[in-house]
């Protein structure tokens, strides 16, 4: 692949001026007041389920997790010891030396799109650039990208085309912000990360790792770095037109605030030009509330929210990228989580990590197929649904907050979650009882019509995916449903049609 021309100083300056022009001419300005005109796209709210994809150079060593590029330079870590033992000293074989080993020879974007669609997902979120600084797309800002090096293919562009052919909404994410410090520990000993480092170097800038709890910590990101981050992000927006853009952590640092406003205004104005509502997903209050979609990493809210939100989580408990030591969640646990999330006005973004060669691990495919099979039967209660007056009922309490979803939940036959659509209320019975007897207390006849729990007219009760017509009665204790042939290890959905 011939080397691509990289923007010179004048071209970079012109691009920055173009960004300002788009902001000034469009409906969104780079301030929080203007950005609060934002509304979450209807398609996102209706989609409910998407697939995240962590795939990059870190998939080559496939050891521990996707932070290999940082940890292999920290003396005393498992990654450091593994690297020396497996690949040799870091001064002789550094992280950059994984680039020619990343060949993606089995990457078939059409197959990926079919697997994702088969899982029941409606949108897809490949990582465009991770903390390691290797771009998975053709770029005019750095030579260190998959189009010029490694696979010598525009991986992001190919996947976008294949996914859109399958009617999947194409989105993408940038984790570039953390590259400010991500490779810094290689300067602490004799490795291939050496000063001077300048923009354009793969490891640049490798600054001292800050205190991540301090949002004003030093060393403070420089204007040069922040403008480079802005240009990289806007290049992704312009060249790949994602329907959603996701940012990982550390962009909440004070230094990024003016640039986040510019990116949001630029992106939302571009969306207006395209005639397509777009949105930014963010964590940690990086953006002002109401200017994007709140995201909770590996966790969720315990109660229903009046605003649309998302959780990003992974099919594995211990990594976002492929490794040979993945601890997988079960498809049932993932479905439980999905049901609970949508009952509270949320979406689930489920991550899968393909192998370095571009193939999916068999266990990943198996779990995705199981999820897809369940959604094929019960998707009516999921896609396009809205929240009920309450998210659910039952004795089991949910955990709230980040990094809380690795523990398997044990539900009872009384644990249910609700959605509504059209003329129907859907009750997801999380652990369907063997005797087929279910009571939905939230649909009990009201003794006091002035303060009703439920005061509607039930016309019909059915079970999604079953031909059996259930027996049902209603009284002051609840809606009683009885089946004889319904058995499942997954949540069973009772459809209650009302007048």
| pTM (2 d.p.) | 0.97
Domain coordinates in residue numbering, the chain: 9-381, 392-498
Full pLDDT tens readout for the chain, 499 residues? 667 899 999 999 999 999 999 999 999 999 999 999 999 999 999 999 999 999 999 999 999 999 999 999 999 999 999 999 999 999 999 999 999 999 999 999 999 999 999 999 999 999 999 999 999 999 999 999 999 999 999 999 999 999 999 999 999 999 999 999 999 999 999 999 999 999 999 999 999 999 988 999 999 999 999 999 999 999 999 999 999 999 999 999 999 999 999 999 999 999 999 999 999 999 999 999 999 999 999 999 999 999 999 999 999 999 999 999 999 999 999 999 999 999 999 999 999 999 999 999 999 999 999 999 999 999 999 999 999 999 999 999 998 889 899 888 999 999 999 999 999 999 999 999 999 999 999 999 887 767 667 889 999 999 999 999 999 999 999 999 999 999 999 999 999 999 9
Question: Which CATH superfamily does the domain covering 392-498 fall into?
Answer: Golgi alpha-mannosidase II (2.60.40.1180)
With a CB cutoff of 8 Å and minimum separation 6, the contacts of 104 are 146, 150, 151, 153, 155, 356, 357, 358
CATH of 9-381, picked from 3.20.20.80, 3.90.1530.10, 3.40.50.1820, 2.60.40.1760, is: 3.20.20.80
Determine contact, residues 231/224, Cβ cutoff 8 Å: no
Bridging pattern class, strands 437-440 and 424-429: unpaired
């Amino acid at each position: 692949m011939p080397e691509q021309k990289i923007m010179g100083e004048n071209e970079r300056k012109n691009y920055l001026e173009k960004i300002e022009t788009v902001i000034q001419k469009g409906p969104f300005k780079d301030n929080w007041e203007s950005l609060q005109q934002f509304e979450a796209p209807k398609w996102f709210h209706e989609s409910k389920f998407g697939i995240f994809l962590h795939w990059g150079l870190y998939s080559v060593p496939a050891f521990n997790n996707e932070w290999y590029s940082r940890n292999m330079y920290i003396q005393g870590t498992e990654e450091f010891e593994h690297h020396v033992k497996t690949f040799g000293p870091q001064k002789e074989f550094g992280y950059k030396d994984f680039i020619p080993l990343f060949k993606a020879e089995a990457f078939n974007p059409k197959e990926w799109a079919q697997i994702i669609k088969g899982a029941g997902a409606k949108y897809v979120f490949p990582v465009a650039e991770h903390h390691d600084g290797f771009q998975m797309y053709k770029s005019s800002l750095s030579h260190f990208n998959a189009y010029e090096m490694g696979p010598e293919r525009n991986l992001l562009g190919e996947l976008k085309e294949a996914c859109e052919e399958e009617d999947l909404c194409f989105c993408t994410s940038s984790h570039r912000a953390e590259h400010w410090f991500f490779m810094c520990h290689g300067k602490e000993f004799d490795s291939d990360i050496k000063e001077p480092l300048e923009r354009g170097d793969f490891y640049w800038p490798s600054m001292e790792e800050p205190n991540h709890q301090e949002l004003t910590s030093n060393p403070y990101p420089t204007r040069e770095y922040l403008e480079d981050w802005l240009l990289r992000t806007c290049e992704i927006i312009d060249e790949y037109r994602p329907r959603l853009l996701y940012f990982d952590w550390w962009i909440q640092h004070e230094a990024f605030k003016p640039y986040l406003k510019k990116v949001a205004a630029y992106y939302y104005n571009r969306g207006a030009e395209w005639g397509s509502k777009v949105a930014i997903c963010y964590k940690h209050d990086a953006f002002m509330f109401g200017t994007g979609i709140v995201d909770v990493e590996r966790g969720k809210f315990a109660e229903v929210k009046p605003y649309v939100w998302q959780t990003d989580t992974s099919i594995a408990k211990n990594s976002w990228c492929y490794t040979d030591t993945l601890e997988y969640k079960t498809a049932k646990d993932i479905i439980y989580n999905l049901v609970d999330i949508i009952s509270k006005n949320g979406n689930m973004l489920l991550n899968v990590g393909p192998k370095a060669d571009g193939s999916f691990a068999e266990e990943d495919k198996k779990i995705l197929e199981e999820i897809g099979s369940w959604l094929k039967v019960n998707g009516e209660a999921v896609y396009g649904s809205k929240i009920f007056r309450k998210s659910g009922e039952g004795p089991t309490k949910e955990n709230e907050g980040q990094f809380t979803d690795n523990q398997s939940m044990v539900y009872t036959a009384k644990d249910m979650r609700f959605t509504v659509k059209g003329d129907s209320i859907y009750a997801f019975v999380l652990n369907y009882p063997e005797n087929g007897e279910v009571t939905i207390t939230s649909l009990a006849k009201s003794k006091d019509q002035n303060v009703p729990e439920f005061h509607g007219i039930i016309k019909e009760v059915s079970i999604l995916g079953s031909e059996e017509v259930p027996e049902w009665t209603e009284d002051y204790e609840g809606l009683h449903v009885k089946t004889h042939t319904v058995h499942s290890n997954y949540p069973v959905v009772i459809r209650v049609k009302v007048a």
